[in-house]
Amino acid sequence: MKKILCLACLFILACTACSSPRETRSHKPVTPVPFSQVTLDDAFWGPRLQSHKEKTLQVCIDQIENQTGRIRNFENAARGEGQHSGIFFDDSDVYKALEGMAYSLQNHPDPVLEAKCDEWIDKFAAAQQADGYINTYYTLTGLENRWDDMDKHEMYCAGHMIEAAVAYYKVTGKRKLLDVSIRMADHMMSLFGPGKRDWVPGHEEIELALVKLYETTGEAKYLEFARWLLEERGHGHGSKGKSGNPWNPRYYQDQIPVREISDVSGHAVRLMYLACGMADVAAYTGEQDYIDALERLWEDVVLRNMYITGGIGQSRHNEGFTEDYDLPNLTAYCETCASVGMVLWDWRMNQFTGEARYADILERSLYNGALAGISLAGDRFFYVNPLESAGNHHRQAWYGCACCPSQICRFLPSIGNYIYGTAADGIYVNLYMGNTAQMKVGRHALTLTQETEYPWKGAVTLRVGTKAPFATKIRLRIPGWCRQYTLSLNGEAIQPPVEKGYAVLERKWKDGDRISLDLDMPVMLVDADPRVKEDVGKRAVQRGPLVYCLEETDNPEDFDALTVSERTHFEVSYEPELLRGVVSLIASHADRTLKFVPYYAWDNREAGRMKVWIPLD
């Protein structure tokens, strides 16, 4: 069965005092259950995590050690001689790969991989200067020029080092890189801050990393420095770099103070990291101005500047935003890093509000925009994710600017973070994946086990494990794309209330309780907002959380002439041998048969044309 649904309808909008920072107590009412407490046993995601361990990590390690000069830069910096190879921010790729290695160790302990991490960390520590500074580009090209150009990514690289250090410390208890990071953070704070030099990081990232450092060390100065960096924006400080390079305030999100933001601007990934940093700081300061600004910004992104895949950033010229409703398909940029950034931001917004609409967009970006960034084999990557291809756009083994491969490397093994949240009055179930999770609600320990064939089928079973009965709420997200569903508890049909997009089950839970949720997954023809000129008279095809596309390899005849209509009939077929197992959609229309496959899986076979938006007959 098909349904006609306006894209805007998929995104239905629901029309404190600060605690001591040293307590690291968050103002967010929802606390995520970390992936370290979630054991994935999922037919869809399990093979991807295995490919990440066996292929993706090895590709990143080989590129960093053998194919590029990234690790050699650290070796040269430690000796104080030799040339710097690559781009000035290449250190960040090594740090992101290490973060992915740390997350993999959490999921799959591996002494060989851990030894490789320790080997890299020794090289990082050796490259650190006596005053705490670490950045191989300036160490090898002239330390006298450091902190001379706000767009040379010094704080960006430092931020990714801090994130990697925190991840590795949490997994292994080893703090060598954490200590290196602390020394770098203290070095930066000796130069910048109230009464010192002004600084606007050209690429945001340090802000959210500093909050992680605060959470790990309990040192409030790192939270305060993160907030100071955010407050530096929008006051004309960004043009003060001594290098004399041009500074475009809109590109760098420096045109107005952050608490006044309401519209998207500039580079998409930078905007995502800015939003994440603002959310993380607000979580501990309780600044409502930040939260209000983030809600305004989110609506502008989602309702006027986001593709149906959850991709963002329309233009390759600025790797970012242009104007509202300008959403070209063939030239869409949709950087993989930006889709990951959307997941990270929506995750934070869900924790602030307990609203399912943020998890809806998280899911959209996860299954479509981000997942398309890596091949099914786990060894090739997209930097750019268009919604149409003339047959000449393909994943690559690596890039000169390799932010996206290293981003996917650290993102995939952390997906368990996004499934559950806990609050004072219960549990939030945000994503549907096969897993077993350990969590606490108040004083009570609880185990939740999910069984599902999602995203191919909408049936989900959750089993409760507890040593003693206790009363709480379990909230199940009803996805925005789902129009009909059924729920049962221990085999009896129930109709619980729905609040903020969640079905709320409240009772005294006992060991062995079983919840069954069945989400209807019809094939939907989706139309865009009529202000999106590129998609007037076209439709996209979606089933469940997945956006589908036509590939020329499945539809070789008259590809440009293919159409759909309101009379198109779709058959749903699981094909275990196709694209490592997918549900394909066979559409019968006008004496033609069309075959649609999930967008995330395109360009994994023969080269050919592709399109998401199909003319309506």
Which residues neighbour 592 within 8 Å (Cβ) at sequence distance 6 or greater?
562
What is the C-alpha to C-alpha distance for residues 321 and 42, in angstroms, rounded to an integer?
A: 36
Catalytic (active-site) positions: 319, 403
Distance, in Å, from the CA atom of 492 to the CA atom of 432, rounded to the nearest integer, reads 21
The first and second tokens of residue 359, run together, are: 């998890």
User: Do you find a cis peptide bond into 413, omega within 30 degrees of 0?
Assistant: no
As a 3-state breakdown, the chain gives helix, strand, coil percent values, each rounded to 5, of 40, 20, 40
Q: Are 2 and 483 in contact (CB under 8 A)?
A: no
Rounded to whole angstroms, the Cα distance separating 328 from 388 reads 9
* Strand ranges (E), 71-144: none
Q: Which one, of 563, 549, 553, 542, lies nearest residue 597 by Cα?
A: 549
Could you give the CA distance from residue 523 to residue 520 in angstroms, rounded to a whole number? 10
Q: Which residues contact 23 (CB under 8 A, 6 or more apart)?
A: none
Report the alpha-carbon distance of residue 360 to residue 355 in Å, rounded: 9
Reading the block at residue 387, the tokens are: 């919604």
Phi, psi of 335 (to 5 degrees): -55, 140
Contact at 8 Å (CB) between 615 and 333?
A: no
User: In angstroms, rounded to a whole number, what is the distance separating the alpha carbons of residues 312 and 345?
Assistant: 13
Residue 407 dihedral angles phi and psi, to the nearest 5°: -65, -45
Torsion of CA 460, 505, 1, 387, to 10 degrees: -70
CB-based contact 113:179 (threshold 8 Å): no
Helix axis angle, 220-231 relative to 206-217, nearest 10°? 160
* Alpha-carbon gap, residue 184 to 182, rounded angstroms: 5
Q: Based on the number of CB atoms within 10 Å of its own CB, is 15 exposed (0-12), middle (13-18) or buried (19 or more)?
A: exposed
Q: With residue 62 as reference, give the H or E element that holds it.
A: helix 57-62
What value, to the nearest 5°, has the Cα angle with vertex 284 and ends 360 and 343? 25
Cβ pair 122, 129 in contact under 8 A? no
DSSP lists the bridge partners of residue 423 as 426
- Taking the C-alpha atoms of residue 563 and residue 586, their distance in angstroms, rounded to an integer, is 13
Report which of 504, 450, 446 is spatially closest to residue 475, judged by C-alpha positions: 504
* Residue 222 CA from chain centroid, whole number: 24
Secondary structure E strands in 339-406: 388-389
The DSSP bridge partners found for residue 616 are 564
Query: Cα–Cα–Cα angle for 157, 160, 166, nearest 5°?
Result: 140
